[in-house]
Amino acid sequence: MTDINTIPAGYKLLQAHLILRHGDRAPTSNIYSSPPSSSSSIGIAASIKATAETSYWTAQMPSPLTLSSLSTMFPVNFLDTTDTNNFSKLENTNKNYPFGLLTTRGLFGTFSLGAALRKLYIEDNDLLPKQESCTANPHSISARSTAMKRTVQSCQSVLHGFCAPSNSNELGVVQVNVETGKALEMPNFGFMREKCPALIKQWQASLNTEHSKQVEQDTTPLVQELATFYPYLRSEGMSHTSKLLKAFDHFKTHQAHGLETAQGTRKETMSELKTWARDHFWRLYANQHAIQTTLMMTRILTAMENRVLNVNDRKVPRLCIYSGHDTTVMPTLATLMLVNPTPDEEWPPYGAHVRLELLHKEYEFDAAAPKHFVRIVYQEKSIIRSMDEFKALILSQRTMNFVEECKDSDASEGINPFQDNR
């Protein structure tokens, strides 16, 4: 098995792309609390649990000074300058503090990833200079993020570990480019809503299939059971899907921190929720992954081709980072054929990432042999394809008539299929 922490012997690293799910985070909601827009009392015992939940996750948050320092080192730049709501879109993801936000553990995990990539790419393989690695050439790093605090901070933290800035001259040179509006390219709900509303309509239609109706019927007892422990799930205005997602989110964030769930819940509940989530989302991506990843993968392929054709051009980036969600990583895995998008596939954990490494190989005796390759790494497994094979794979998955296939004026508004589970 190939060691993913080294570049294979005989190859030279030319460029790398990192597609990242943000690090560890707090649950998106406090489901011990009252349902949204409810004025009914949940009782003293439930209120105590809700307060304890808030207190725990508040204690897991990074300090404001740490986050401010990251923003000074790697400031935010909004790609769509015509969107006047850029700043508020990003800040609104902070309004439910501490819920939905990156934890100190998440910050450390993404920093550690950046430091590990620094050793592999810079110290061991000279992708960038060892001193002023990310600032000697301001074009050497390209970093993009969705417009959420947890993805922006994860990106900043990876850059902190990778760039290892050591003096004030290195502050503020590398920016985190945030996607909103016309600049959306990474798969996620914002992308679906703004760039491809037809995907939302497809998702809504999938909820009316016989399979989905049967799944809802089968999971209704589970939702009713959970609602006896979690007041938030008693909401009359919340969809069945949303309740399951909120419960799944609560259980997996608690599991990640070794926390107990509500007294009386069963040990099997997490497994039941995960089975439902994998069925729901992998079925979605089996049909949609190609169109969801078209813009991002086109950008990646173009960057690789530019590096091959203009090997000495300093304006072609050496490292490109795409900081997103599980809903970014999952369709990417399907497009790259690293998984077969069925309900049997696992859910990407916090910090899960795909590495695409452009490699060059010289052959002493065969001048006609392929010279450029792409190593695809996910978790502990890797595949090396020739550049021609990689290009053929991406082109075979790419949606050529993207604008036409994505049009659907009736689907521009709809329920978020991810319900902030990301």
pLDDT per position as a tens digit, 325-343: 999 999 999 999 999 999 9
Neighbours of 320 (CB within 10 A): 19
pLDDT per position as a tens digit, 21-80: 999 999 999 999 998 877 677 888 889 999 999 999 999 999 999 999 999 999 999 999
Q: What is the pTM of this model?
A: 0.94
Q: Tokens for 316? A: 């072609």
Q: Classify each residue of 357-390 as buried b or exposed e, where b means 16 or more C-beta atoms within 10 Å of its C-beta.
A: bbbbbeeeeeeeeeebbbbbbbeeebebbbbeeb
Give the pLDDT score at 420: 47
Q: Tokens for 196? A: 């491809």
Contact, 118 vs 162, CB < 8 A?
yes
Phi and psi of 121, rounded to 5°? -85, -40
Q: Which of 14-18, 158-162, 412-416 has the lowest mean pLDDT?
A: 412-416
pLDDT per position as a tens digit, 191-250: 888 889 999 888 888 888 999 999 999 999 999 999 999 999 999 889 999 999 999 999
pLDDT per position as a tens digit, 364-402: 666 667 799 999 999 889 999 999 999 999 999 887 788
pLDDT per position as a tens digit, 101-135: 999 999 999 999 999 999 999 999 999 999 888 98
Domains of the chain listed by start with CATH number: 12-27+59-198+279-411 (3.40.50.1240)
How many angstroms separate the CA atoms of 419 and 422, rounded? 8
